[in-house]
Amino acid sequence: MSDSESPKKEVVYRGIAVSPGVVRGQVYVYRPQEVAIEKRSVRDDDIAGEFVRLEQAVIKTRQQLIEIPQHIGKEMGNDKPGIFDAHLLVLDDPMLMEQVFKRLKTEKLNVEFILHEVANKYAQALAKLQDTYLCERAADVRDVSRRILRNLAGAEHDELQRLPGPRIVLAQDLSPSDTALMDRTKVLGFAAEMGSRTSHTAILARSQGIPAVVGLHEIGREITSGQEALLDGYTGLLIVCPSQETLYEYGQIEIRWHSIEDRLSSLRHEPACTRDGCAIRLGANIELVEEIKTAVEHGAQGVGLYRTEFLFVNRQEFPTEDEQVAAYSNVARAMKPHEVIIRTLDAGGDKVLRGGEHSREANPFLGWRGIRFCLDQPEMFKTQLRAILRASAEGNIKMMYPMISDLQEVKRANELLNVCREDLRREGKPFNEQMEVGLMIEVPGAAMIADVLAEHAAFFSIGTNDLIQYSIAVDRGNERVAHLYAPTHPAILRLIRNVVAAARARNIWAGVCGEMAGDPVMVPLLLGLGVNELSMSAVAVPAVKYIIRSMSMSDAQALAEQTLRCGTAGETATQLENFARSVAPELMELIRPNKP
């Protein structure tokens, strides 16, 4: 792909910042060569040969997926990152391969065509789901199937290892294997039309320190290789053909950024303590053990939310007890001496488990999900509870139930937990008898009866993402109403205050593990409302710690009282931003610069 002449007019594209950093250089538009998929009939005598071709391609793909982590193992802190274990699970998914074999026998068509159709159908089904995590697993299916198809055709996989020079890579989508195999000496950063902060590609970018922006919709045809660009991984901007004025502005901003980044980095081992001596525990939200390295590097003091859904998706059968014990124990050992809070399976409704056996629901977010799903499948739930209990022998594990809506659910879950405890005692298997069990408060009804629930919990963790959606009836994924999604809505503030007050009355702690916890502008309000634990994406920890150390708790409490009198979300947002700029102007320049 040859570089072309660059036009001179500056164009700014806005996306989602997923990995921090600012870089400038020529664009390389990456359009991976797609294997031509022809549809052709196969004679009966050739069907066996098609089976052999597919098996050989799968074997080669497996070897490649085993070798890829070796390119990034040292940087990721693990010789075999779980991201590519997930790809191997796709490769081993019996449902996927059985469909290919079945159609090959019955339809007698070439294996490339059948694999392409089956994988696309599977990926499209995942991509249509409302659950962000499972939507992003569609990319894993596409990545693996594309790799098999290339191996069937004998095509190359290494275009991003042969760049003509230092480049900002622009693509419609970048798979985890694309990202892993990039030549880090030549890839300045990357921008993609698709993706989100929680995709495996974003996780890899952050782990390898590659500035990245995703969600830049439909720009691939407007930009050509060779154009000059500036990529801003802090604010999510791609500026093509930046003007001299923009370059000067970024030069000045970059000086200030480096200064504040140095200060953020110096806080890594410092406590998150306000100026008047109030300590706040900061944890990281994770789903893979590989993310712990990043969490520790950014100063997290534990894992405030360990999502377990990863172990259950893309499988024909639920994971065994021993598999789960190993996964949970690995996370606990890696995070010692800090705590790890494991969330029991938050699945059901729109989430695909065990080959998608669930019936479709008209309104899955109000349906069979979270604790409801688990209580309806007690054997599966007991297997997970036993695994968490056994892993708790590590000494630093806590557990919480998701999507609690009434007291009866808590009692039923605890009854099963007690059965598991008795069974493990009888079997002589060690576990922590004092393991704390908490509740996630994500449903407005639960927030309103928090005083009742508090009598049966060791702690509360407020999941603000769902709490906001349920409280003000806004689906963040619906473009028509997403602008109405408002963490600063007065109702949300009052619900959080109610939960915290109930926790304090019972002498238990209350934390927040939704996106509000990782937003430095929202943090003073949460602390002022009485929240004493925050869990967030690891990369957000330094900025949150910085603003905590820049303010006093008394000021945060006064801010909370002031915002509770606001009548609209907009009024509250203005109050919070003004406060953040008054106590941490340098930080605000980094995370929410007024220019460019």
C-alpha neighbours within 13 Å on the C-beta side of residue 54 = 22
Alpha-carbon distance 370 to 373, whole Å? 6
In DSSP terms, 92 is beta-bridged to: none
Is 241 annotated in the active site? no
Is 513 annotated in the active site? yes
Q: Which long-range contacts (CB under 8 A, 24 or more apart) does 485-491 make?
A: 486/569, 486/573, 487/515, 487/516, 487/519, 487/522, 487/569, 488/522, 488/563, 488/569, 488/570, 488/572, 488/573, 488/576, 489/569, 489/572, 490/564, 490/566, 490/567, 490/568, 490/569, 490/572
Over the range 185-205, which residues count as b (16 or more CB within 10 Å of their CB) and which as e? ebbbbbbbbbbbbbbbbbbbb
- Among 116, 200, 298, 358, the one annotated catalytic: 200
Comparing CA positions, the residue from 373, 311, 379 lying closest to residue 342 is: 311
Tokens of 589: 């320049």
* C-alpha separations of 139 from 132, 144, 170, 180, 485 in Å: 12, 9, 17, 15, 27
Find all residues with CB under 8 Å of 345, minimum gap 6, and list them: 308, 309, 312, 373, 374, 380, 381, 384, 402
- CA 308, 314, 315, 316 dihedral sign is positive
Alpha-carbon distance 591 to 535, whole Å? 18
- The torsion angles phi and psi of 521, rounded to 5 degrees, stand at -70, -35
Cis peptide before 596 (omega within 30 of 0): yes
Q: Is the separation of the CB atoms in 31 and 219 below 8 Å?
A: no
Over the range 291-315, which residues count as b (16 or more CB within 10 Å of their CB) and which as e? bbbbbbbbbbbbbbbbbbbbbbbbb
- SS3 for 66-84, per residue? HHHHHHHHHHHCCCCCHHH
- Phi/psi region, residue 403 (left: phi>0; alpha: psi -120 to 50; beta: rest), is left
Q: Is the separation of the CB atoms in 562 and 575 below 8 Å?
A: yes
- Among 374, 420, 513, 566, the one annotated catalytic: 513
The residue assigned the tokens 């999900």 is 369
**Catalytic residue annotation:** 200, 513
